[in-house]
Amino acid sequence: MLRDSLPPYQLPKSHDLSVPDNHEVEHILLFIDKKVPEFPDYYKTIKDSDRENRISDFLVNHLQLCKIENNQDYFPYDFRKNPTQESSGKETDIGVFVLTRDRKPSPIIEFEAKRFSENSSNEQYVYGDRGGIERFKRGHHSSHLKVCGMFAYVQNRTIEEWFLKVNGWLTKQFNTNTDNTIDWLENEQLSKYASLSTVEKYWSSHTRKTLKDEISLWHYFINLTT
């Protein structure tokens, strides 16, 4: 159980110099690593739609329930749908907030969600008006963050096929881009990181031209085909 594998958790103090800057984000990612593989079974029991937004509702509910069911009193984070952005009218799909009065309510990590299916605009995982990676690169999402993520709801074919397609779309952007407001680099492809039962976890790093920095993305490809 997750509770057995993690010590009781308390929020680090602002003056605690021994705590790395990404400590809270790493704690959240560890929780997701352990609990997202259980999501497909939960989804099967309550499934009433194949729509991306509805699946994200279920995923947020699943992660919130996991905290309660495991008595996660040391896990002071809240998963929420569609957090607002400080400097953009566009909203990400899922944000994670620290439950404290010591700082303003702003997510410390955010996730875009896309589904892969026969009747979806699958390329928008990468690029387009609603392109997930592109919105992170342009700073429309999470301009205040350096680490974020994406959830891919795989509804047909295999995770490996969609992984190869995503990297193909990234290569296409590198080879054909003529938009001088965004850079697509050859080394921005997804790299395999871990196999988590029903989920494959990938990592990528992307330039943000307008912000003159980079953002790292963790990608969770979730098998919802059965």
Per-residue pLDDT tens, the chain, 226 aa: give them. Answer: 444 444 443 444 444 443 346 899 999 999 999 999 999 999 999 999 999 999 999 999 999 999 888 765 567 899 999 988 777 677 899 999 998 888 888 899 999 999 999 988 999 999 998 999 999 999 999 999 999 999 999 999 999 999 999 999 999 999 999 999 999 999 999 999 999 999 999 999 999 999 999 999 999 999 999 8
- What one-letter code names the amino acid at 62? H
Could you list the residue range(s) of the whole structural domain that residue 52 is in? 2-223
CB-CB neighbours of 211 under 10 Å: 14
Between strands 94-98 and 199-208, the pairing is unpaired
Both tokens assigned to 160: 């490996």
pTM above 0.95, yes or no: no
With CA atoms as reference, report the closest residue to 31 among 154, 196, 145: 196
- The pLDDT of residue 2 is 42
| Number of domains composing the chain | 1
